[in-house]
Structures are given as structure tokens and as C-alpha cells.
Amino acid sequence: MSYLVLARKYRPSTFSDVVGQEHITRTLAGALETDRLAHAFCFTGPRGVGKTSVARILAKALNCENGPTKDPCGKCVHCLEIDQGRAVDVQEIDAASNSRVEDVRELREVIRYRPQSARFKVTILDEVHMLSKAAFNALLKTLEEPPEHAVFILATTDVHKVPLTILSRCQRYDFRRLSPAVLAGNMASIVEAEGCVMQPESLNLMAREADGSVRDSLSILDQVLSVGKKEYSHQEVVELLGLVDKALVHETAQAVLAGDASKVLDLVGQVYGAGGEMQSFYAGLQEHFRNLAAARDVAEGTELFGLTQDELADLKKEAMATSPETLHEVFDVLARSEDLFRRAAQPRLVMEMTLLKLTQVKPVLGLDQIVNRLSAIAGGQQPPPLPGSDFGPSSVQGASGGSGGFSGHRAAPDLKMNSGFSPENQGEGGFTPSYQGGGKSAPDGLTEKGPLPSYRGPGVKEPEEKQGFTPSYQGPKPQAAPETPAREPQEKAPPKPGANPRGGALPPPEKVLEELSRYAGRSEPSLASYLSRSRAVVEGDKLVITLPSSPLAASCATEENQAKLEEMLAELFGSPVSVLLKAGEAPQQSPEEQGASQMELLNELANHSAVQEALEVFEAQVVSLNPERPSK
């Protein structure tokens, strides 16, 4: 076949032709000039960056009739034979298919003999990490002390798989991935040499697809030039390679940030209808949001991900309209859904649902923005608008319903809090803000004038640390006491059981227990679950609470819990009440009853609030139950 692909046709033949690996070619050229060349080298790096090409150039430099020289002529017999791959004294061995110890032993025998016509016998072991352990061991001694006419060049893409004993006997050279700008420039020179015209936008797209590999970039370019035209538009290049147009990725990202669900679905449909690869489109979205998050904070003129300065400026302008926290949240959602997307039988459905979910994400504010908004509100000023939107206090009442999203245009009920006292909102238990729902009926539990009446003991103020909780029991209203002349202070007598020193009797014990159970549910849900099934009586000056007859409930009958309940009662009713917690006594049971009781205990343990909360938080399941009584 007479046609040579571009990767072979434009393969570098001298050190100066190698693209993007100047740190290596400069070192090797200097070693050749000063006659300080080692006998073993290890070239490592990604695929298609020039490892084997540099190895061949080094072999030519050593065996050129004008050498050793850093600039092989490329015209002598040895240079031509090496270029054509038929040099007897230059062996290029694929270690992946010659990985046995017998292959290395054969190589050791051959390497002892002097070269037939060349100056050096050069052995290039490609993909050397594929050798077996025994083969590596067989190579050690020869690699450490080879004949004076032998030079070894090891090439690998996975240097971490090569034993350290091998690496310590070689000079290691790390080949780099090439930036998209370098690859695009190299392809531009080849396109010009081929007499074709292609837009820089297309070259940049192909360079990014090559992922730093020169060989991959030339293979992609070769595929486009195979059409046989002299001039190519960007749209033609996108269609020929089956790629997703970058403009579609940008439009989709903007629709996501704007919360435009219908446009998002339309764009995904366009990609699917054009035969674009959905996985490539998904990766493009991830890359775009990564670029937005990074471009937001970089200085002007910075090199970033191979982007041009115009592209970087556009990204920065787009990113400044959105908070960095929002961009990070979007990227996190895409990253979490990636595994599901890859495994899905219908990736399009997963992508559509993921993007629809993103259109419903609310703007994420940073801590500094939250502090600024709170400071503005506290100072009676209008807080600054959310990033990328006009969402502010003035737009809450007039916001119209939309598709939702980051722009903040969501309909919100007109909730107003009266900050002053008025007779209309003065309830029995004190001041409560009234509900104004924009003409709509009040929610459940609210009247048009405010919340339903709630119990607060006579003369008792709202607890400062527990605001927001009001007992439902309504005690008798205090009667205005007649004025009496001042008396000398006297020592107060201890309060009688069931009395409220602030001016009223406590509710019945069962009512007290009911209120106490509700109140304890805010801070002690486990204890509250047992209080709701307990009994309460007044004995002397104490409120005696008998817990259910179970080991778990009995473990709550501690002095620490008694102190907590006394503190809660004081906050609820404004009076000190002594509490005694008692464990319920279980009656004598038959074996059948004990078995039923054990099952009841297991059910109680499985349905315990702490267990249920742990299952929800850790997304776990119950494996076994241990009904032993916990230590107090």
C-alpha cells in the first residue's frame, strides 16, 4: 500500500523535529556532543508522545556515518535502514508479545556478539512493563554490565510496573503530554503542507480530543483529510468526527443555570438526533462547568486547560454571574450521576433527569454573601441581589411562577410578620405574629388572626432558650389581685405539691406528663418516646413517673434524666417540681408470654427513634438486634 498515514509520514527524523519534548532532546543532544551517553535508558510517558520516535533518532545518532552526532544525516545507509525498520543491528522488540524468560535469555545470547555493520547494537524494548518477573530478573545482569557495543532503550507507558532494580540501572526520561495549543500548531503546519485550509476552531477541537498525544491528533486529522477536500468548515469537522459541538454544550450549561427546563430537553434532543455520543456530551458538560469554576478566579492572561484568551474571557464573564458554590454544586451532581449514566441502558434518560434536577437547584450562597445579606437586613437596608439574578426582597412578592432554577424566579407566598403590638394579634398566651397569605386561606393550625391558642402558665414568660414551643394546655387566667400594703419580707414556705408558685395550680399529672413528653421531644426524642407511654402520679412533693416495663425503658430511669425533666418542667410551668423516675415492674410470665415479650422488645428496639435515624442517615439496614439492657 503506497499511502502513508500522517503519523508515519510526518514522524520526526531528528531531535529538532520532535514536538514538545525539548527537555529530553536537549539533554540527549548534549550527551552526544560531550560523549557522556549512558548504556541504558528508560523512556516513560503517555501514548503517542514520541518515546519510540526519540529512541529511533538516538539509534540513528549513534550509528550515523558522521556520528555519533546530535544531527544524524538521514541519508547514509544506517540512517535509511533504521528509518525503514530493516537495520540488522537495531532491534525493536515488543515486550508485550515477547515477555517470557526464554525470550530474554535469547536476547542475552545475541547481544554478546558485535554488530555486523553499525557502530552500536541498539535494542529497543517497547512496553517493557509487560515482561514477566523472571524475564526482568534474567535481564538484570546484562542491563547492569552490557557489552561496550550494546545500548538498551526501554519504553513504557506504566513505569510504576517496572521493578526498581531495573530502573536503577537506567537513565529515566519522562515524556510530557502536549498542550492543546502545541498540538493545534503542529496540525496547522501539517494542514498547510498538505495544501488544505481548516479553521483554528476546528484544530483546537481536534487537539483537545487528542488528550496530549501527537499520534492521536494526527490520526484524527488524517480522518478529516480523507474526505479529499481542500477546505473544511468547522461544522463539517464536527460531523465527520462524530463529536458534540461545543456551542451545544455552552447553550445547555446556560439553560441549566437559567433554570430553563424546556430548552435543556430540546438541546439534549438535538444532540441525540444528530447522532452525537451522549457520553461525550456528558463529559463536555462536566468539563465546561469545571472551566467555569476555574475561570472565575484566574487572572487575565493565565494559561488554563489549553483555552484561548478569548474563550477564557467569555468563560470568566459567564462565571461571574453565578456564585462559585453554585458551580461546585452543579459539578458535584454531575459527578455523582456519572456512574449511573455509564451503566444505564438508556443514557439519554439519565442525562435528561440529571439536567432537569439541576434546573431546580436553588442558588448556593457563600458565607460572606450570607453575612452581607444579614448585615443589610439588620441595618434596615435592602440586601444585595443573588448572583446571576434579580432575586431580592422586592421581587419576592411580585415573583411570577416559572420553570425554576438558578435565576431565583419562583413564586413565593407573601408572608409578613407584624413587628409591633396590636390588639388584633394579642392572644391569650402573649404576642403572636399574624398570618397574611395574600388572600389565601390560612394553613392548617393557623387562624386568620394567628396561631391557635396555646397554653402558657399564668404570668409565665416565653422561655428564652426554648422559644417556638408552646404547650397546648390552657390554664385558668390569673385574676387581678387587689393592692395590699407592703409587708416586711418573710421567708417563703416550700411550694405545695401540684402548686404553681407563680400564681396558679399545675394541670393534672397526666396532662403534665403529656406536655412534658411533647416538650422533651425537641431535645430528648428517645426519652420522650418512653414518656408518652408512662404513667404519672403525685406522691408527696414529687411527681412520680413510672416508665414502661421493658429493659430499654428501665435504662432511662437515671438521676441524670430526672434532672433534665425537672429543668424542663421549670421552663414549662415556671415552678420547681421534683421528679422521680421509676422503672415499671414486669409481671411474672409463662414461657409463651416471655417469648411474646421478647418479640415485643425486639420490635421496640428496631423501631426506636435513634435506630430509625441512624438507618436513614447511613442508608443502612438492621442486621441483628441485641436486646440486652444497656449499662446505666
Residue 461: which of 569, 567, 572 has the closest Cα?
572
Q: What is the pLDDT of residues 71-84, one digit of tens each?
A: 998 889 999 999 98
Torsion 248-254-257-259 (CA) sign: negative
Higher pLDDT, 296 or 39: 39
pLDDT at position 419 is 39
CA distance 187 to 170: 34
Give the DSSP per-residue string, 83-119.
HHT--TTEEEEETTTS-SHHHHHHHHHHHTSPPSSSS
CB atoms within 10 A of CB 207: 26
pLDDT at position 587 is 56
Residue 549, C-alpha cell as written in the block: 416495663
Which residue type, as a one-letter code, is found at position 355? L
Lookup result for grid cell 437515671 = 558
Average pLDDT score over residue span 390-415: 39
15 falls in which pLDDT band (50, 70, 90)? very high
Average pLDDT score over residue span 292-300: 82
CA distance 80 to 89: 13
pLDDT at position 369 is 66
pLDDT at position 12 is 93
Q: What is the pLDDT of residues 442-466, one digit of tens each?
A: 444 444 444 434 444 444 444 444 4
Cβ pair 322, 386 in contact under 8 A: no
CA distance 93 to 123: 7
Q: What percent of the chain has pLDDT over 70?
A: 74
Over 80: is that where the pLDDT of 144 sits? yes
Residue 138, C-alpha cell as written in the block: 534474567
pLDDT at position 458 is 43
CATH numbers and ranges of domains, the chain: 6-176 (3.40.50.300), 187-241 (1.10.8.60), 244-359 (1.20.272.10), 506-582 (3.30.300.180)
Q: What is the pLDDT of residues 611-622, one digit of tens each?
A: 777 777 777 777
626 falls in which pLDDT band (50, 70, 90)? low
Higher pLDDT, 569 or 97: 97
Q: What is the pLDDT of residues 335-368, one digit of tens each?
A: 988 888 888 888 889 889 999 988 887 766 666 6
Lowest mean pLDDT of 150-164, 280-294, 433-447, name the range.
433-447
Give the CA distances from residue 616 to residues 332, 399, 522, 527, 619, in Å, rounded to whole numbers and listed in that order: 22, 35, 19, 20, 5
Cβ pair 450, 433 in contact under 8 A: yes
* Average pLDDT in the chain: 77
